[in-house]
Amino acid sequence: MKIVLFGGGSHRYLSIARSIMAVPGLMENGEINLYDLAVDRAAAVGRLVLKSPEFKSTNCQITWGTTLDEALEDADIVFVVLMAGSHKNFEQLKDACACHRFMGSDQLSPSGAILALKGGPILMKLARRMEKICPDALLADFANPVAVLSAAINNHTKISCLGVCAGYTNHQWDLPRMLFGKDEQWTDFDIRCAGVNHMSFILPGSTWRGQDLYDIAAERVTENWAMPVLSRRWNEFSVKNITNSVTTLVKLYRKYGYLVFSTEGDGLAHLDIEANYLAGLEDAKPRTETELEASDQNFRADRAEADCRFQSWLEADLDKDTWNTERPDALYLLRADQDIMVKIARAIGGKEELCIATSFPNRNAVIGFKDRTVLEYSQILGRDGIRPAGTFELPDVFHGLVSSLATHQTLLGDAIATQDPRVLFEALYAYPVKQDTAESKALWQDLLEIAAPEIPEPFQHTRKMFRESIQCGTQKPD
């Protein structure tokens, strides 16, 4: 088997490579290629992989520094991890969202939509090369917004692309915390879910060790529920985020009676608009150029420090204890056996069929949606490909919101593939928060102007369409 890790300088690939090589027989006489334009970063990851105990126990080739075509030759799976565009520009997009009282993020938000216009051309170019070099390979995209990029590739190329969220395993942590008071990762949940990435719902019939999760929730989530004590694995920032996310899960369960599949801030915010979307945005104002430049310098410094820390492990004596000790600043040293990348590799390698949740065209899986509409839902993945894990029906209370968001993201995929400014106008219009208001139209204009240096030029015509739409909306009928 040959696996390509696109964006191979990402530190998290060290954990992934260790776990993939640990699967008996999977990578025997195989190859893991770390493809990255920043060859020095890919080399650092590759050299640490070569030091790992798993590499010493398998006959697998680790390569980097190749051309893209060389990397793709004979590939079975291509994993993609990247952040498109500059950090400073993305921060400007989030500032604009806040000033217009919208949420900014890299996925389910207006700034996430614009980020798709940056990463989309990169993914489309990759898919087009795959069509020529490895047309039967699976593309698994982790670059946000994953649902939009999945829509572009699946609906406009011959490549099969899974939009995969690294938060797929969140429920394995969140459910033990919420239902059992344990800060542990449990893998023995049988989950069926559907929705959109960052906002999917655990459906009735999902179980833990044969017990219905909704029966367990009714028994455990009482008025006396309390957040469990978190372990030393997590740094201060993570502790705060985990606490906020799990308490929000409990709040939403009490409010709606349903369990949310994954704790992601922008998804949870769409379910709790007043508390998590609008709160704190009233007095927002954009940062000055000086402040943005300082933020960008801090980002670069943090990245350089992280790279330096990662490089330092190359000179360290890495014994068994070092490889398996949890450190908040070096979790990439640990194996990630439950990571969805590893699960995908096991499945495509024919080790077993696995039930996973990814963003993919509906194809008659979720009742009430077009086949081409991209949703996140449970699927069965194996050597022969992917199929729905069943037929799913969303709770009525969430159907309209999911439909609007899924349509918005699918249309964004169409816009990326066609670079048609009219299709982009329709995609942005379809975003359901404050839809067809002067405020939302002004926001889209600002975002397109800010992102102009980093997105395809035809999309600037979309900005003109929103300006004309505002003018049309202010005209009173005779």
What does the angle CA 334 – CA 338 – CA 342 come to, to the nearest 5 degrees?
Answer: 90
| Residue 404 CB partners (closer than 8 Å, separation 6+) | 430, 431, 432, 435
Backbone angles phi, psi at 70, to 5 degrees: -65, -40
pTM for the full predicted model: 0.92
Range in 128-137, 267-276, 363-372 with the lowest mean pLDDT: 267-276
Q: Are strands 60-64 and 354-361 parallel, antiparallel or unpaired?
A: unpaired
Backbone angles phi, psi at 62, to 5 degrees: -110, 120
Average pLDDT across the chain, whole number: 93
> Which tokens go with 188?
């023995």
Cis ω before 145 (30° cut-off from 0): yes
pLDDT, one tens digit per residue, over 405-445 is 999 999 999 999 999 999 999 999 999 999 999 999 999 99
Percent of the chain exceeding pLDDT 70 equals 97
Q: What order of strands is seen across the sheet that includes strand 189-190? A: 189-190, 207-208, 211-212
Per-residue pLDDT for 477 more than 50? no
Per-residue pLDDT for 474 more than 60? no
What is the DSSP code (8-state) at residue 366? B
Q: For residue 246, which of 263, 269, 261, 270 has the smallest C-alpha distance?
A: 263
CATH architecture of 2-85+106-167+306-348: Alpha-Beta Complex (3.90)
Contact call for residues 60 and 32 (beta carbons, < 8 A): yes
Report the pLDDT value the prediction gives residue 83, as an integer from 0 to 100: 86
Contact call for residues 200 and 377 (beta carbons, < 8 A): yes
Report the pLDDT value the prediction gives residue 329, as an integer from 0 to 100: 83
Q: For the chain, percent helix, then strand, then coil, each to nearest 5?
A: 50, 15, 35
Segments of 309-458 assigned E as strands: 354-361, 374-382, 385-388
d(CA 226, CA 286): 37
- Indicate if the alpha-carbon torsion angle 170, 172, 178, 183 is positive or negative: negative
Per-residue pLDDT for 308 more than 70? yes
Range in 120-129, 241-250, 268-277 with the lowest mean pLDDT: 268-277
d(CA 413, CA 100): 25
pLDDT, one tens digit per residue, over 180-200 is 999 999 999 999 999 999 999
Report the pLDDT value the prediction gives residue 285, as an integer from 0 to 100: 77
Per-residue pLDDT for 325 more than 90? no
Q: What three-state secondary structure class fits 351?
A: coil
Report the pLDDT value the prediction gives residue 166, as an integer from 0 to 100: 78
Report the pLDDT value the prediction gives residue 279, as an integer from 0 to 100: 63
Per-residue pLDDT for 51 more than 50? yes
Contact call for residues 189 and 202 (beta carbons, < 8 A): no
Residues in a beta bridge with 437? none
Domain residue limits, the chain: 2-85+106-167+306-348
Query: What average pLDDT does the segment 225-237 reach?
Result: 90
Contact call for residues 446 and 466 (beta carbons, < 8 A): no
pLDDT, one tens digit per residue, over 267-279 is 998 998 877 666 6
d(CA 32, CA 4): 6
Contact call for residues 378 and 388 (beta carbons, < 8 A): yes
Percent of the chain exceeding pLDDT 90 equals 81
Query: What average pLDDT does the segment 205-234 reach?
Result: 94
Q: pLDDT band for position 286 (50/70/90)?
A: confident
Q: How many residues appear in the chain?
A: 478
Contact call for residues 271 and 252 (beta carbons, < 8 A): yes
pLDDT, one tens digit per residue, over 384-399 is 889 999 999 999 999 9
d(CA 78, CA 63): 14
Look-up of token digits 């992601």:
264
Q: Give CA torsion, residues 332, 336, 340, 343, to 10 deg.
A: 140
Backbone angles phi, psi at 221, to 5 degrees: -90, 85
Report the pLDDT value the prediction gives residue 478, as an integer from 0 to 100: 45
